[in-house]
């Protein structure tokens, strides 16, 4: 970046209303999606539907998020992010309301899994593409703050859903959640717009100014970005899902083991802010590569602990690494591709990351069933994480070096 920011770049860095709106949308969307974790037991008791059947709605949701995310991203490049987010917000509230009226497990899976998953995907590529196109100096911090909205969902929406289901049945709870989704997300839609200066200096970006979406998806930067994103999610999704079971196998109580997952989530929020600031100072590529290497080493470190304090220490480092690195992929994409096709690029990359998230837990379970231990899962997570770091290093460097400014300016509004 130019060490002497232009008036255009300064104007771009004032679009903080978009960041706040993106955080709200992420919190509401992820909170509604993960409400199933709270509703699983009361729904099973009230309906007699199997836990496997109910849980499969979440699997369908992740698959729908991956596939629909590519479509939302492409659409946002054509019509703008606001239209996509408005449609997604309307569909998300509708999905919750339809799920509350489901008379069969299949109806619930289609409404809560497929429709809700597809609706939540509308918030990722359009909002993140608009954010990275609207910021210059503080781009990594801005994207990290957007991602932090999803990170606080377990601390906001989940307790609210738990309180609602303790006072009402699951159907009424989901109905209220659907109305709440509309009440919170629809006003936020107004603030979802890219900076009008976002494309003013498109020719100065690392990617060719007239690159088409088809060319972008065949380019070396996208292939590197997508493979790293896939490997990153494959590396951390297995430990995220299986560490509680591993800790119980080490002698911890289930109640204590669950707090390890909570520690990972809290550390992820801190990692978002830390890696965002570091990315703005040193550049997204070296910070992302370092974070992926730390993530891999932290994953295998679970094998060296057996007490709760040791699990907390590893969970803190692991959570910071995997949480903090996630938004940096969008910043790398902005360095290589023009803003007008960023939605397509990010949507396609997100689709592959969702595949990694889906495969990680499955492979972890397969390895455990095969060897009767989680050791190979953690070792493989380390190897895949280090491979992801190596892949990132293959990403072409930006023509403009990152602006090196202090921590103080990076945190200013």
Report residue 316 as tokens: 């803190």
For residue 392, pLDDT over 50 is answered with yes
Q: How confident is the model at residue 197 (pLDDT cuts 50, 70, 90)?
A: low
Q: Are 96 and 175 in contact, with CB atoms under 8 Å apart?
A: yes
Most confident option among 32-41, 57-66, 173-182, 272-281: 173-182
Q: How confident is the model at residue 262 (pLDDT cuts 50, 70, 90)?
A: confident
CB atoms within 10 A of CB 167: 9
The CATH fold of domain 8-189 = Growth Hormone; Chain: A; (1.20.1250)
How high is the pLDDT of residue 398?
Answer: 58
For residue 7, pLDDT over 50 is answered with no
Question: What does the alpha-carbon distance between residue 65 and residue 115 come to, in Å, rounded to a whole number?
Answer: 9
For residue 173, pLDDT over 60 is answered with yes
How high is the pLDDT of residue 409?
Answer: 33
Domain boundaries, the chain: 8-189, 212-396
Q: pTM of this prediction?
A: 0.72
If you average pLDDT over residues 398-407, what whole number do you get? 44
Class of domain 212-396: mainly alpha
SS3 content of the chain, % helix, strand, coil (to 5): 80, 0, 20
How high is the pLDDT of residue 203?
Answer: 45
* pLDDT, tens digit (0-9, with 9 covering 90-100), for 82-127: 999 999 999 999 999 999 999 999 999 999 989 999 999 888 888 8
How high is the pLDDT of residue 290?
Answer: 94
For residue 235, pLDDT over 80 is answered with yes
Question: What does the alpha-carbon distance between residue 147 and residue 124 come to, in Å, rounded to a whole number?
Answer: 9
Q: Which residue has the tokens 């997300």?
A: 185
If you average pLDDT over residues 334-340, what whole number do you get? 83
If you average pLDDT over residues 29-36, what whole number do you get? 84
**How large a percentage of the chain has pLDDT more than 70?**
89
How high is the pLDDT of residue 33?
Answer: 85
Between 402 and 394, the more confident residue is: 394
If you average pLDDT over residues 199-227, what whole number do you get? 72
For residue 152, pLDDT over 80 is answered with no
Question: What does the alpha-carbon distance between residue 63 and residue 347 come to, in Å, rounded to a whole number?
Answer: 13
Report residue 57 as tokens: 């709605």
How high is the pLDDT of residue 209?
Answer: 54
For residue 228, pLDDT over 90 is answered with yes
For residue 186, pLDDT over 70 is answered with yes
Q: Are 346 and 124 in contact, with CB atoms under 8 Å apart?
A: yes
Question: If you average pLDDT over every residue of the chain, what do you get?
Answer: 82
Q: How confident is the model at residue 12 (pLDDT cuts 50, 70, 90)?
A: low
How high is the pLDDT of residue 302?
Answer: 95
Q: How confident is the model at residue 375 (pLDDT cuts 50, 70, 90)?
A: very high
How high is the pLDDT of residue 391?
Answer: 95
For residue 404, pLDDT over 50 is answered with no
For residue 54, pLDDT over 50 is answered with yes
Choice among 10-14, 17-21, 293-297, 345-349 with the minimum mean pLDDT? 10-14
DSSP class of 104: S
Of 288, 287, 292, 298, nearest to 239 by C-alpha is: 298
Question: What does the alpha-carbon distance between residue 43 and residue 116 come to, in Å, rounded to a whole number?
Answer: 17
Q: Measured between alpha carbons, how far apart are the two ends of the chain, in Å?
A: 19
How high is the pLDDT of residue 378?
Answer: 95
**How large a percentage of the chain has pLDDT more than 90?**
32
If you average pLDDT over residues 47-56, what whole number do you get? 80
How high is the pLDDT of residue 412?
Answer: 32
Residues 6+ apart with CB under 8 A from 307: none
299, 348, 203, 21 alpha-carbon torsion, rounded to 10°: -80
* pLDDT, tens digit (0-9, with 9 covering 90-100), for 292-322: 999 999 999 999 998 999 999 999 999 899 8
* pLDDT, tens digit (0-9, with 9 covering 90-100), for 344-372: 888 888 888 888 887 887 788 888 888 88
Most confident option among 203-207, 234-238, 293-297: 293-297
For residue 200, pLDDT over 80 is answered with no
């Amino acid at each position: 970046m130019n060490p002497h920011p232009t008036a255009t770049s300064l104007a771009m860095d004032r679009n903080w209303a978009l960041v706040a709106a993106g955080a709200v949308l992420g919190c509401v969307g992820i909170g509604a999606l993960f409400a199933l974790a709270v509703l699983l037991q009361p729904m099973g008791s009230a309906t007699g539907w199997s836990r496997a059947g109910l849980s499969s709605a979440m699997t369908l949701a992740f698959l729908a998020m991956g596939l629909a995310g590519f479509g939302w991203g492409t659409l946002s490049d054509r019509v703008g992010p606001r239209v996509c987010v408005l449609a997604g917000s309307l569909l998300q509230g509708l999905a919750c309301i339809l799920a509350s009226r489901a008379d069969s497990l299949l109806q619930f899976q289609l409404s809560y899994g497929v429709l809700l998953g597809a609706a939540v995907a509308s918030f990722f590529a359009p909002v993140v593409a608009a954010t990275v196109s609207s910021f210059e100096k503080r781009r990594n911090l801005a994207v990290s703050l957007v991602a932090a909205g999803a990170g606080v969902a377990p601390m906001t929406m989940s307790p609210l859903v738990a309180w609602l289901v303790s006072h009402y049945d699951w159907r009424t709870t989901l109905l209220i959640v659907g109305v709440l989704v509309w009440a919170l997300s629809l006003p936020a839609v107004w603030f979802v717009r890219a900076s009008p200066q976002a494309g003013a200096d498109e020719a100065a970006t690392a990617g060719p100014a007239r690159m088409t979406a088809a060319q972008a998806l065949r380019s070396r930067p996208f292939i590197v970005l997508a493979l790293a994103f896939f490997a990153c999610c494959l590396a951390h999704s297995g430990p995220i899902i299986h560490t509680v079971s591993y800790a119980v196998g080490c002698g911890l109580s289930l109640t204590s083991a669950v707090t390890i997952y909570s520690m990972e989530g809290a550390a992820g929020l801190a990692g978002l802010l830390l890696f965002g600031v570091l990315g703005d100072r040193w550049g997204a590529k070296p910070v992302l590569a370092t974070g992926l290497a730390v993530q891999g080493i932290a994953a295998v470190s679970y094998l060296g602990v057996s007490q709760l304090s040791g699990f907390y220490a590893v969970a803190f480092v692991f959570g910071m690494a995997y949480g903090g690195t996630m938004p940096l992929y969008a910043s790398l994409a902005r360095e290589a591709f023009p803003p007008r096709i960023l939605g397509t690029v990010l949507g396609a990359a997100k689709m592959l990351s969702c595949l990694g998230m889906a495969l990680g837990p499955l492979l972890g379970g397969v390895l455990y069933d095969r060897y009767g231990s989680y050791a190979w899962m953690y070792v493989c997570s380390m190897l895949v994480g280090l491979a992801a770091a190596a892949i990132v290093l293959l990403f072409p460097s930006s023509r403009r070096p990152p602006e090196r400014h202090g921590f103080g300016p990076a945190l200013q509004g």
